[in-house]
Amino acid sequence: MDSKENSSNSKWDKLSEFDPIPNEQAPVAPMQTVVATPAVEPLHAPEPQSQQPVPTPPPVDYNKQMKTSKTISIVMGILAAVFLCVGVGGVLLALAANNTINQQDEVISTQEEIIDKVAEVMDVEAINTIDDLPTLAPTTGYIYISDWGIKIQVPEGINTVSYILNANYRPSICFNANDAGLQYLPDFANIAKNPGGMGCLTRVAVTEGNADSNGNSFGEQVFTSDGYNYFYTLPRVYSTEPADQGIENSIINIIKTMLTKNVSAYK
Query: Helix-strand-coil percent breakdown of the chain, rounded to 5?
Result: 40, 20, 40
Identity of the highest mean pLDDT range in 17-31, 73-87, 208-222? 208-222
Q: What is the mean pLDDT of residues 118-147?
A: 61
Asked if 179 and 118 sit in the same domain, the reply is: no
pLDDT band of residue 139 (cuts 50, 70, 90) is very low
Res. 180: pLDDT tops 80: yes
* Domain limit, last residue, from 134, 157, 178: 134
pLDDT band of residue 138 (cuts 50, 70, 90) is very low
E strand intervals along 71-157:
142-145, 150-153
Asked if 160 and 243 sit in the same domain, the reply is: yes
Sequence-ordered list of residues with C-beta below 8 angstroms from that of 115, at least 6 positions apart, any chain: 127, 128, 129, 130, 132, 133
Identity of the highest mean pLDDT range in 37-51, 149-163, 217-231? 217-231
Res. 186: pLDDT tops 50: yes
pLDDT at 114: 62
- Print the domain residue range for 225: 135-265
pLDDT band of residue 80 (cuts 50, 70, 90) is confident
Q: How many domains in the chain? A: 2
Mean pLDDT, the chain, integer:
74
Asked if 117 and 139 sit in the same domain, the reply is: no
pTM for the whole thing?
Answer: 0.49
Res. 259: pLDDT tops 50: yes
Asked if 248 and 147 sit in the same domain, the reply is: yes
Give the integer Cα–Cα distance in Å for 194 and 245: 14
Q: What is the mean pLDDT of residues 172-194?
A: 91
pLDDT at 147: 87
